[in-house]
C-alpha cells in the first residue's frame, strides 16, 4: 500500500505540472513523465526507497514549474523541503538544472557533476534518461529530426556513463533502450 507521503507527492506534482504538456505530437500530459520515472524505479528496477520515489515524482518541479524568477524557485524549494523533507529536497536539487545558464552548459554540467550526486539522485537521473529515451523512440518531440534524436541518445549515454555503479538493474534497463533510434 502506498504511503500517504507518496500520494501527497503525486498530488503536488500533478498540481505543479497541470498546465504542462510533453513535446510529442499528441502533447501528452506532462505528469505522465514523473509517473513513468516512479514506475521504472519501483516496478521495473525494484527500488522501494520512498525518498527516491518521491524525488522521482518531483524531479522537474523546481526546474520546470518555477517560472523565470528565482523567487519562485525558492518557493518550490521551501515547499518541497517542508512537505517532503531534506533528503527528498537534496535529491531534487541534485537533478535540477540551473536555468540561468545556457542549454549547452546545462547539458555539460549534467555530465560533469554526475559522480558527485547522492545515490538517490543518481537513481532518479538514470530513470529520467530511460523515460526520455523511451519517449524519443515511441513518441518523439514533433519537430525533432533523426540527427537531433541521435544527439540526445549520445548525450544521455554520457550522462549515465558518469552514474554507472549506482544500480545494476536500472543500468541494464538503460542499456536496453540506449541504442540510437
- Of the residues 24, 44, 49, 63, only one is catalytic, namely 63
The DSSP 8-state label assigned to residue 139 in this structure reads S
25 assigned to active site = no
Which of the residues 24, 44, 49, 64 is marked catalytic? 64
Check if 63 is active-site.
yes
Positive or negative, the CA dihedral 123, 124, 130, 133 is negative
DSSP labels, 24-84:
BTT--BTTHHHHHHHHIIIIIT----HHHHHHHHHTTHHHHSSTT-HHHHHHHHHHHHHHH
Q: What is the DSSP secondary structure assignment for residue 21, as one 8-state letter?
A: B
Exposed, middle or buried, 23 (CB in 10 Å: 0-12/13-18/19+)?
A: middle
Catalytic residues: 63-64
Amino acid at each position: 500500500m502506498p504511503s500517504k507521503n507518496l500520494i501527497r507527492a503525486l498530488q503536488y506534482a500533478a498540481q505543479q505540472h497541470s498546465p504542462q504538456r510533453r513535446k510529442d505530437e499528441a502533447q501528452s500530459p506532462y505528469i505522465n513523465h514523473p509517473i513513468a520515472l516512479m514506475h521504472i524505479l519501483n516496478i521495473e528496477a525494484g527500488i522501494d526507497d520512498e525518498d527516491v520515489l518521491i524525488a522521482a515524482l518531483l524531479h522537474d518541479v523546481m526546474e520546470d514549474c518555477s517560472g523565470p524568477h528565482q523567487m519562485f524557485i525558492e518557493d518550490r524549494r521551501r515547499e518541497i523541503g517542508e512537505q517532503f523533507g531534506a533528503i527528498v529536497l537534496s535529491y531534487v536539487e541534485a537533478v535540477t538544472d540551473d536555468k540561468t545558464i545556457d542549454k549547452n552548459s546545462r547539458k555539460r554540467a549534467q555530465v560533469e557533476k554526475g559522480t558527485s550526486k547522492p545515490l538517490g539522485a543518481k537513481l532518479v537521473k538514470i530513470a529520467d534518461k530511460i523515460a526520455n529515451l523511451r519517449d524519443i523512440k515511441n513518441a518523439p518531440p514533433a519537430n525533432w529530426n533523426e540527427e537531433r534524436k541521435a544527439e540526445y541518445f549520445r548525450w544521455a549515454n554520457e550522462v549515465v556513463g558518469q552514474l554507472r555503479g549506482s544500480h545494476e538493474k536500472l543500468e541494464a534497463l538503460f542499456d536496453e533502450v540506449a541504442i540510437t533510434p
